[in-house]
């Protein structure tokens, strides 16, 4: 329970990634829960299949691939800055924060889709936008603390990791789907 409180505190920017215990089992738990919450957040859109590049893609392999690419991207950033020893706590923090925010986003996405095409859709759309901005801020905080740098550098690494993850994902989807 202490690890969950720490992850929740990181989500509120009241704790640092180094406060998370170095634990491979905790990393595995946060990775699996992040993947499940990612799938649940997409569930209102369509639980089985989503469209990427005009191709139908099963959500589960998409979620797993995205998480693997994101973890690899974070590792490369930490390697570049010579802090690979901090990888487990960093990615555990990011997966834990992702789980918490995606679970909040899940009902909001359903609310958005229920009101799609109406003025009432503006509220959940704004909330989703706010949650995306919040996760950017929290990830920037995590990178800032992990890399012992300024917040803006952490934000740039966050954006770079998201972009690289997306590019890798799109490349793989384009190469391995019909």
pLDDT for the residue 30: 97
Instruction: Kindly list the distances between the CA atom of residue 135 and the CA atoms of 46, 88, 129, in Å, as whole numbers in the listed order.
Output: 23, 19, 10
Task: Please say whether the dihedral angle defined by the alpha carbons of residues 90, 95, 98 and 103, taken in this order, is positive or negative.
Answer: negative
The rounded distance, in Å, linking the Cα atoms of 91 and 75 is: 9
pLDDT tens digits for range 114-173: 888 888 889 999 999 999 999 999 999 999 999 999 999 999 999 999 999 999 988 888
Q: What is the mean pLDDT of the chain?
A: 89
CA distance 11 to 120: 28
In angstroms, the Cα distances linking 70 to 44, 65, 169 are 24, 8, 10
Are 17 and 142 contacting, i.e. CB atoms less than 8 angstroms apart? yes
Residue 56: phi and psi, rounded to 5, are: -80, 130
pLDDT digits (tens, 9 = 90+) for 155-166: 999 999 999 999
CA distance 92 to 59: 22
Segment 9-40, tens digit of pLDDT: 999 999 999 999 999 999 999 999 999 998 88
């Amino acid at each position: 329970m202490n690890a969950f409180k720490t992850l929740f505190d990181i989500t509120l920017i009241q704790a640092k990634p180094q406060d998370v215990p170095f634990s491979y089992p905790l990393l595995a738990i946060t990775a699996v829960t992040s993947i499940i919450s990612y799938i649940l957040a997409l569930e209102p859109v369509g639980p089985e299949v989503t469209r990427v590049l005009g191709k139908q893609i099963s959500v589960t392999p998409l979620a797993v691939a995205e998480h693997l690419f994101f973890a690899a991207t974070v590792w490369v950033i930490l390697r570049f800055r010579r802090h690979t020893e901090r990888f487990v706590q960093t990615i555990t923090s990011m997966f834990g924060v992702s789980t918490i925010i995606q679970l909040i986003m899940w009902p909001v996405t359903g609310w958005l889709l229920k009101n799609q095409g109406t003025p009432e859709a503006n509220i959940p759309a704004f909330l989703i936008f706010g949650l995306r901005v919040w996760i950017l801020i929290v990830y920037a905080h995590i990178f800032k603390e992990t890399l012992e740098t300024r917040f803006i550098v952490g934000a740039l690494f966050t954006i770079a990791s998201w972009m690289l993850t997306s590019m890798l994902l799109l490349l793989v989807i384009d190469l391995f789907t019909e």
